[in-house]
C-alpha cells in the first residue's frame, strides 16, 4: 500500500498549524514533532510507513516554521504554550491521545507534553534529546558557567536580532553548514568543537562551521531546496525564539521538579550525533525520571538527522515499539 500525503490547516490555541497527514483517521494517532532547523518534510518517509502499518500519521510544521503561524511575541514560543497547541491539535484531529514521536526540540517538547498533559500521550519516542529531569538551575546561568568565553549556539541565540540577522542573510549557507555539521560525517569532528573559543576571526556562529564541498549523501538538491523554501515566509527568528523561552518556561515549571514521565518511553540517538556530548549526563539520568523506560537505541552511521540519515532503521524501531505498546 502506498498512502499519499495530504495537507491542510488546523486552528489550535489561537494559531493556525500546517499539517501533513496519511492513513486512516480513525486509527491510532502517531504525531511527529520536528526540531531545529527542520520541517514536517523530514518525517515524510515515516508518515507513509506508519500509514501503511495501519496508523493515522500526522506531522505539522511547528510554530514559526513553514506555513504554520509565527506569532511576534517571543514568549509565545515557550514550551507550555506550545504544549497546549499540540494538545489542541490532537483534539482537532479527532483523538483523545497520541503516540508522540519528537526529534530535537520536538523531543524536548514531547517530554514536556507528557508531563503537563499525561492523559493526552499514549507513549513517547524521543529522538536525540533525552529527559534527565528538570534543570536544577536556570538554563541561561548553566550555559554561561559551562561555556564561559566560548561560542555555544544556544547562548548565542539569546540576544534578539543577532543570530536571525546572520542566518537570514544567506539561508542556504546556514542550512547547509548546519545540516552537514550535525550528520554522521560532520558530527565526529563537530563533537570535539561544539563550543569553540571566541577569537578575533569569529564574527558569528557560521564562522565556526565548515562549508562542505557537496551536499550530504542523505540530502538531495531537490530536498535541500524544499528545506530552504520553508524559511522564506517567516525567516529564522521564530524558530530561534524557541530557545529564548528556556528560562521563562523553567521559572514557571517548578511544580515539575519531581514529576516523572509515566508513559511508555523509547529513546533513539545517532552514534555520531555531536549533541550527545552535551546530553551525556541527561542520558545517564534518564531511567530515574521515566517510570516505563523501554529501551535506548544508538543507531550506527547516524548523526543528528535520524529520520533522513537512517529512515528505514527508524521505521523498524517505530513499528516494533508502537505495536508493542498498543498490544498491551
CATH number at residue 205: 3.40.50.1820
Give the pLDDT score at 1.
66
Give the pLDDT score at 277.
87
Residue 278 in domain: yes
Residue 253 in domain: yes
- For residue 318, how many other CB atoms are within 10 A of its CB? 24
Segment holding 102, helix H or strand E: strand 98-103
Instruction: Name the CA dihedral angle for 63, 82, 78, 107, rounded to a multiple of 10 degrees.
Output: -90
Question: What is the per-residue pLDDT across 161-184, written as a single tens digit (0 to 9) for each?
Answer: 999 999 999 999 999 999 999 999
Question: What is the per-residue pLDDT across 107-157, written as a single tens digit (0 to 9) for each?
Answer: 999 999 999 999 999 999 999 999 999 999 999 998 888 888 888 899 999
- The residues assigned a catalytic role are 104, 304
Is the separation of the CB atoms in 328 and 62 below 8 Å?
A: no
Furthest C-alpha separation in the chain: 59
How sure is the predictor about 239, in pLDDT bands with cuts at 50, 70 and 90? Answer: very high
Distances (CA, A) of 177 to 148, 188, 212: 24, 14, 7
Residue 229 in domain: yes
| Cis-peptide into 37, omega within 30 deg | yes
Question: What is the per-residue pLDDT across 50-75, written as a single tens digit (0 to 9) for each?
Answer: 999 999 999 999 999 999 999 999 99
Residue 39 in domain: yes
Whole-structure pTM value: 0.97
Give the pLDDT score at 238.
98
Question: What is the per-residue pLDDT across 291-318, written as a single tens digit (0 to 9) for each?
Answer: 999 999 999 999 999 999 999 999 999 9
Please tell me the total count of domains within the chain: 1
Which residue has 529513546 as its cell numbers?
267
DSSP type of residue 133 = -
Percent of the chain with pLDDT over 90: 88
Average pLDDT over residues 1-14: 91
Residue 1 in domain: no
Range of 102's domain? 6-327
Between CA 11 and CA 14 the distance in angstroms is: 7
Residue 80 in domain: yes
Is the separation of the CB atoms in 303 and 186 below 8 Å?
A: yes
Radius of gyration of the chain (CA): 19
Which residue has 530561534 as its cell numbers?
240
Residue 318's SS3 state is: helix
Between CA 258 and CA 254 the distance in angstroms is: 9
Select the more confidently predicted residue: 187 or 307.
Answer: 307
How sure is the predictor about 278, in pLDDT bands with cuts at 50, 70 and 90? Answer: confident
Residue 51 in domain: yes
Between CA 110 and CA 255 the distance in angstroms is: 18
> Is the pLDDT assigned to residue 319 strictly greater than 80?
yes
Instruction: Name the CA dihedral angle for 83, 108, 196, 173, rounded to a multiple of 10 degrees.
Output: -70
Amino acid at each position: 500500500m502506498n498512502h499519499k500525503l495530504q495537507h491542510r490547516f488546523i486552528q489550535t490555541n489561537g494559531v493556525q498549524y500546517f499539517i501533513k497527514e496519511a492513513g486512516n483517521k480513525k486509527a491510532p494517532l502517531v504525531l511527529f514533532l520536528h526540531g531545529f532547523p527542520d520541517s514536517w518534510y523530514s518525517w515524510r518517509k515515516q508518515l507513509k510507513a506508519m500509514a501503511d502499518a495501519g496508523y493515522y500519521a500526522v506531522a505539522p510544521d511547528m510554530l514559526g516554521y513553514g506555513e504554520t503561524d509565527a506569532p511576534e511575541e517571543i514568549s509565545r514560543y515557550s514550551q507550555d504554550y506550545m504544549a497546549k497547541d499540540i494538545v489542541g491539535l490532537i483534539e482537532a484531529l479527532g483523538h483523545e491521545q497520541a503516540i508522540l514521536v519528537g526529534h530535537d526540540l520536538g523531543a524536548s517538547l514531547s517530554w514536556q507534553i507528557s508531563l503537563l498533559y499525561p492523559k493526552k500521550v499514549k507513549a513517547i519516542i524521543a529522538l536525540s534529546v533525552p529527559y534527565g529531569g528538570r534543570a536544577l538551575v536556570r538554563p541561561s546561568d548553566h550555559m554561561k558557567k559551562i561555556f564561559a568565553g566560548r561560542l555555544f549556539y544556544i547562548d548565542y541565540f539569546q540576544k534578539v536580532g543577532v543570530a536571525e540577522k546572520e542566518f537570514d542573510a544567506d539561508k542556504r549557507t546556514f542550512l547547509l553548514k548546519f545540516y552537514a555539521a550535525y550528520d554522521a560525517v560532520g558530527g565526529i569532528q563537530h563533537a570535539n568543537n561544539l563550543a569553540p573559543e571566541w577569537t578575533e576571526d569569529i564574527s558569528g556562529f557560521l564562522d565556526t562551521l565548515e562549508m562542505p564541498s557537496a551536499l550530504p549523501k542523505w540530502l538531495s538538491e531537490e530536498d535541500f531546496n524544499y528545506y530552504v523554501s520553508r524559511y522564506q515566509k517567516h525567516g529564522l527568528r521564530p524558530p530561534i525564539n524557541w530557545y529564548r523561552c528556556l528560562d521563562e518556561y523553567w521559572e514557571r515549571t517548578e511544580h515539575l521538579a519531581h514529576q516523572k514521565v509515566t508513559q511508555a518511553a523509547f529513546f533513539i540517538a545517532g552514534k555520531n550525533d555531536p549533541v550527545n556530548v552535551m546530553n551525556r549526563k541527561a542520558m545517564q539520568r534518564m531511567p530515574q525520571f521515566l517510570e516505563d523506560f523501554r529501551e535506548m537505541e544508538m543507531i550506527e552511521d547516524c548523526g543528528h538527522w535520524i529520520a533522513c540519515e537512517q529512515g528505514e532503521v527508524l521505521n523498524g524501531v517505530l513499528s516494533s515499539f508502537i505495536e508493542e505498546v498498543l498490544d498491551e
